[in-house]
Every structure is written in C-alpha cells, then in structure tokens.
Amino acid sequence: MLNDPGLSEALTRHGLTPQPTTRAEFAAFMRKEYDQWGAIARARKLTAE
C-alpha cells in the first residue's frame, strides 16, 4: 500500500513520512514503542479514564 504514489503523497501532505517495512520489522517497532511508552505510563501512574 505504501508503494501507491497517491497514498504516499497524501501521507506526506499530512506531515507523515511513509516507510514501507516488512511485517516482522513493523512488529518489532510496535513492541519497542509499546514497551517504551508502557514504562513511561506506569512510572507516571497514568490510567485511562
């Protein structure tokens, strides 16, 4: 999908940088983000309302 020029242009117009990856790379990225932001939320004792 990110190889579609129209989609890439639309994302870029909204300030995003399309970065096509493999499923494994995306899963690793998401795990890292989850762990990082989860640790911050727990340290700050943040909860969903």
User: Is 11 part of a structural domain of the chain?
Assistant: no
* Cα dist from 20 to 2, 17, 24, whole Å: 6, 10, 12
User: Is 44 part of a structural domain of the chain?
Assistant: yes
User: Is 14 part of a structural domain of the chain?
Assistant: no
pTM of the model: 0.64
Range of the domain at 46: 21-49
User: Is 8 part of a structural domain of the chain?
Assistant: no
- Greater pLDDT, 10 or 1: 10
Q: Which residues contact 18 (CB under 8 A, 6 or more apart)?
A: 2, 7, 8, 11, 12
User: Is 3 part of a structural domain of the chain?
Assistant: no
Give the model confidence (pLDDT) of 21-41 as tens digits.
899 999 999 999 999 999 999
How many distinct structural domains can be found in the chain? 1
Measured in whole angstroms, the distance separating CA 22 from the mean position of its chain's CA atoms is 13
What is the H or E stretch that residue 31 is in?
helix 23-43
Instruction: Please state, in angstroms and rounded to a whole number, the distance separating the CA atoms of residues 17 and 27.
Output: 18
